Every structure is written in C-alpha cells, then in structure tokens.
Amino acid sequence: MIRKLASGEYRLYSRKTDPKTGKRRNLGTFDSRAQAQQHEREVQYFKRH
C-alpha cells in the first residue's frame, strides 16, 4: 500500500496491520511512486521465494 507524504515522497506500508502496534509497518520511503511500486513487487516476490 503506497501513500504520498506531505514532503512529496512516497511510503510503502505493509498490507496487514502490525499486531504489536495496530498500525501498518513501514516498508520504505521512496522519491517516486514508480520506485515504491517496484519495491512492492520485490517484496511480494521475496515473500514467495
């Protein structure tokens, strides 16, 4: 899940909430949406291999 920050950067959050905090886990902050989307694909690949 990608959200745009007030600073203009994009942050990738986990799809599920963290049971410890009740919030979504931050999976990285990126300058462009394309970079964030690429990293999201890498994370999904890694989870299954």
Please give the tally of structural domains in the chain.
1
pLDDT at residue 4, rounded to an integer: 98
pLDDT at residue 15, rounded to an integer: 93
pLDDT at residue 41, rounded to an integer: 97
pLDDT at residue 5, rounded to an integer: 98
CA distance 10 to 21: 22
pLDDT at residue 19, rounded to an integer: 95
Range of the domain at 11: 2-47
Contacts of 47 (CB under 8 A, 6+ apart): none
pTM, two decimals, is 0.86
Helix, strand and coil content of the chain, in percent to the nearest 5, comes to: 30, 35, 35
Residue whose pair of structure tokens reads 């909430």 in the numeric block: 17
Residue from 30, 36, 28, 1 nearest 15 by CA: 1
Reported as a single tens digit per residue, the pLDDT across 1-49 is: 999 999 999 999 999 999 999 999 999 999 999 999 999 999 999 999 9
